[in-house]
Structure 1
Amino acid sequence: MTPLTRQWAKRLAASTKPAYLLLPDLIAEDLRVGRLSPRDRMPTLRDLAADLQLNYTTVARAYAEARKRGLIDSHTGMGTYVRGSSPAIQLRGGSGAEMTMNMPPEPEDINLLAGLRDSAARLMADASLYDLMRYQDFGGAPQDREAALRWLRPHLPDCRMDQVLVCPGIHSVLTALFSLLARPGELICVESLTYPGLKAIAAQLGVQLHALLLDDEGPDAEAFEHACRTLQPKALYCNPTLLNPTTATVSRARREALADVALRYSVPIIEDDAYGMLSRQAPPPLATLAPELTYYVTGLSKCIGAGLRTAYVHAPGARQAQRLAGALRATTVMSSPVTNALATCWTLNGMADAMVQAVRQESLARQTLAARHLGHHAPAPQPEGFHLWLPLDSDWSVVEFAGYLRTQGVGVVASAAFSTDGAPPDAVRICLGGPMSRDECDAALRLVRDTLDHPQHPHATVR
């Protein structure tokens, strides 16, 4: 039995769903999270039946269903291979309601847009273009760091200039931190549901992710301590405010408990606060509870616009900031001076704060729509956030539900994309932001509601 079929056997034993329908779901999930890749060879029917203790006919039906969904191909004399989808990133045509990428809404405020446009135009008119097109010292020019301090101080009152870096997006910071703190094969603790990009980073670097059980207050502190005692993790990664995907915010008591464990075992903390600026009710950051261990990471892409790839990092100390700068320089050379100049301009003139407030208000309006249409399905809403975690309690499987909505032009993300423990709940994440208007969001949410209230034929995703 392989590790993959061992996991399938465990999932089959824990589920009441017919094996011939669950197996294709598991293949789709493993393809999505990288445990399977296109062109991987699948076990023969007899081998898989023996490994999973199923009869031959059940496994044959499962493979037939997987072929029907476009997941595998079988050829006489060659065996069965994973088909999957192209590994290339598809270009989007702009049609349909894009609810897969987690992007902030785009407020339709004429005065706000005019202010952003006019200040950007003045910036470019007054700037030395050659200065913006030259290599820069890593970590940002002095004015960029001043803007970073202004952005950080409402959450980190004691932040210091020599501990701050201006970086090209949060994702690049996480890549650099993982490469800095852990070697291939070493372990970092994460939530059992977490940012999918983190899983891709870990897979690329060969770093192992150890899932911590989530409850209503956040990652389990006792599980973290047990991992520290027995597994010697190299860091704790946490997205404590408006967690992507569940929208949950870690309670103050749980933050204190996690910080206490990290301090006792000297485990660095990577605090990904991408959504923290949107929340006015969040407890103090972990960085205020364990400042000597915490890399606090935030940025502008999740609260202003996804294309504004400027992130700010406050390292535990000046020496750690220098080491992180070296890791980032090796992977990204530098952040774009043009993007930094725009972010600095808007941060210092107050336009960034105005945009955050507008995004909050638009998110609240869209969460109100979601509650109206989906409230009886018990989603987990957060008024200041722009994504929604929707449990599925209908006849749909998660994969079929997401696949069917894609055929209708509405993109949602199945829970497996976020799972780090191999046992994702029956739920999907829905983004309420992005380029779609409020009316388009309303129509998409109506379609989601109708799909849940009136399930289609189980194979409606097949065309």
Structure 2
Amino acid sequence: MTIKLPPRGQRSGPIYQAIADAIGREIEAGRLKPGGRLPTQRVLARQLGVTLTTVTRAYVEAQRRGLLSGEVGRGTFVRPSALEIEGPESGVLDLAVNSLMPLPYMEELADRLAAAIPRSAGARIFGYQHHAGARHNRAAGSAWIGWTGLEAPLDRIVVTGGGQHAILLSLMALAKPGDEILVEEFTYPGITDLAGHLHLRLRTVAVDREGIIPESLAEACRTSRPTALYCISSFQNPTAAMMSEKRREDIAMVALEHRLTVIEDDVFGFLAPEVKPLSSFLPEDQVFYITSTSKSLAPGIRIGYLLAPSAMIERLSVSVLRTMVNAPPAMAELSTSLITDGVAGRIVEWKRKEIAARQDIAARVLAGLDVQTQPNSPHLWVRLPEPWRTDAFVARARHRGILLNSAESFAVGHETDVRAVRITLGPPATRSALEEGLNEIVRIVNRVPEAYELVV
């Protein structure tokens, strides 16, 4: 094992951080195994041509990130917890859940959780709070949304118990039983579940590789009276479609013409900071913009931020009261701490780089398949060749130890003739595990299905 530093012109920040980054890359690539012993500080300093103090600081930084542990008299080792993430079951590779754990930051997040609630703030944290969220937590949400370029005054922010809670609140505020909500042809299953509970009707609009087709949306608006459009404009789930700026402008024009309110679910938008949200092309009274920390930071940090019209905040606050009283204060405090102290920004930057690296692996391994994705998307939409049926392919993958989501999982009514699966890149703990899983998918695609797998 050799720890290498990138050339001087390709790195920024102190050298000790670059060494810690390099250690993290070796762990992610699987070249440093759990329990593996690292070179002594003196040996590594000589290999890299740096001072002993620099390597000492690098090892301390890597330990702070949860990557290494030091044992007096024995040396420095890769922490098992840095890689051993509980999976669905032994021997199964999960490529179904859309999540990327920030492994280099696990120990820091744990420390932050412990420090997020000072003793002096106990009464405030463990008591009831404003239903829309405490003012300083709403301010953090405003700042978190602000990086998109959207104007997000804190009096238009509602702190929620995650992205799905924000969707629920939006639907409760906008629609009544029997109302029609427009959604993409394939959509996030959570909206289907919520619509069922609220007795709302879902109508699909056609999509292409850029997401919603404006003509299909216009036709739906002309032939019915939809209450709202729910959509994911960046890295659409599950198709990974990405609306161009022109497409966003065209969708906004249709919404303006028909006075259609848009619920924009932008939980993956952090992966493309240069892209303007669809909401930026619409007036504030037609926008419900949603983001959360579950995708951008970690799944267990279930805090969402909903940017809504000023006139709707009171109604949304009542909906929060009726569903969960207020978002969990301790999690809201942790999110605020991570955002204001810059930790969230560092995690997001790491995720952007990690997703890009995993996309490179997927592009190489899956080169012969019909794949729809983006260079910085956390998931892929893979159309299956004849004669494979989707359910048979998913079952075969499960038999081979790989979990996938079928196109039916994302279809309204769970019925579709489209033969496709969604593959997520984040769950495997290492890039090498991801590559192994993708290679197995290619082998499954290339084998001839058994006769019983072709029966409809």
Is contact 1:194-1:245 (8 Å) kept?
yes
Name 2:232's counterpart in structure 1: 239
The 3 A distance-change label for structure 1 pair 171 and 108 is closer
1:107 is displaced (CA, Å) by 4.0
Q: Deviations over 1:113-168 (max 9, x none)?
A: 44434333332455633432222111211211111111011114422111111110
Name 2:306's counterpart in structure 1: 313
Q: Which runs of 5+ in 1 are unaligned?
A: 1-90
Aligned residues: 368
Following the alignment from structure 1 to structure 2, what is the Cα–Cα distance between the partners of residues 174 and 392? 31
1:360 aligns with 2:360: no
1:430 aligns with 2:423: yes
Q: Deviations over 1:188-231 (max 9, x none)?
A: 11110110111111122221111100023321222222222221
1:106 aligns with 2:115: no
Name 2:409's counterpart in structure 1: 417
Match of 1:266, SS state, is coil
Following the alignment from structure 2 to structure 1, what is the Cα–Cα distance between the partners of residues 454 and 97? 21
Which of the numbers 257, 261, 267 marks the counterpart of 2:260?
267
Match of 1:375, SS state, is coil
Match of 1:376, SS state, is coil
**340-349 vs 210-219, greater mean Cα deviation:** 210-219
- The one-letter amino acid of 2:425's match is L
Q: Could you tell me the TM-score, scaled by structure 1's length?
A: 0.75
Following the alignment from structure 1 to structure 2, what is the Cα–Cα distance between the partners of residues 437 and 363? 12
Is contact 1:287-1:295 (8 Å) kept?
no
Name 2:434's counterpart in structure 1: 441
1:437 is displaced (CA, Å) by 2.5
Following the alignment from structure 2 to structure 1, what is the Cα–Cα distance between the partners of residues 352 and 120? 31
1:294 aligns with 2:290: no
Following the alignment from structure 2 to structure 1, what is the Cα–Cα distance between the partners of residues 209 and 327? 37
Match of 1:189, SS state, is strand
Name 1:378's counterpart in structure 2: 370
Following the alignment from structure 2 to structure 1, what is the Cα–Cα distance between the partners of residues 203 and 372? 25
Following the alignment from structure 1 to structure 2, what is the Cα–Cα distance between the partners of residues 452 and 460? 13
Name 1:330's counterpart in structure 2: 322
Name the % identity. Answer: 30
The 3 A distance-change label for structure 1 pair 424 and 200 is farther
1:358 is displaced (CA, Å) by 0.9
Provide the alpha-carbon RMSD of the alignment: 2.1
Is contact 1:97-1:436 (8 Å) kept?
no
Following the alignment from structure 2 to structure 1, what is the Cα–Cα distance between the partners of residues 97 and 200? 24
Following the alignment from structure 2 to structure 1, what is the Cα–Cα distance between the partners of residues 278 and 252? 10
Name 2:337's counterpart in structure 1: 345
- The one-letter amino acid of 1:359's match is K
Q: Could you tell me the TM-score, scaled by structure 2's length?
A: 0.76
Q: Which runs of 5+ in 2 are unaligned?
A: 1-86
Name 1:392's counterpart in structure 2: 384
Following the alignment from structure 2 to structure 1, what is the Cα–Cα distance between the partners of residues 96 and 236? 16
Name 1:120's counterpart in structure 2: 113
- The one-letter amino acid of 1:195's match is Y
1:139 aligns with 2:117: no
Following the alignment from structure 1 to structure 2, what is the Cα–Cα distance between the partners of residues 92 and 217? 33
- The one-letter amino acid of 1:414's match is S
Following the alignment from structure 1 to structure 2, what is the Cα–Cα distance between the partners of residues 391 and 340? 40
Name 1:285's counterpart in structure 2: 278
Which of the numbers 144, 152, 163 marks the counterpart of 1:151?
144
1:300 is displaced (CA, Å) by 0.8
1:97 aligns with 2:93: yes
Following the alignment from structure 1 to structure 2, what is the Cα–Cα distance between the partners of residues 392 and 145? 44
Q: Deviations over 1:325-357 (max 9, x none)?
A: 212221222110011011111000011111111
Is contact 1:106-1:435 (8 Å) kept?
no
Following the alignment from structure 2 to structure 1, what is the Cα–Cα distance between the partners of residues 275 and 172? 29
Match of 1:211, SS state, is strand
Is contact 1:346-1:352 (8 Å) kept?
yes
Name 2:72's counterpart in structure 1: none
Following the alignment from structure 2 to structure 1, what is the Cα–Cα distance between the partners of residues 120 and 88? 34
Is contact 1:396-1:458 (8 Å) kept?
no
Following the alignment from structure 1 to structure 2, what is the Cα–Cα distance between the partners of residues 445 and 190? 30
Is contact 2:217-2:254 (8 Å) kept?
yes
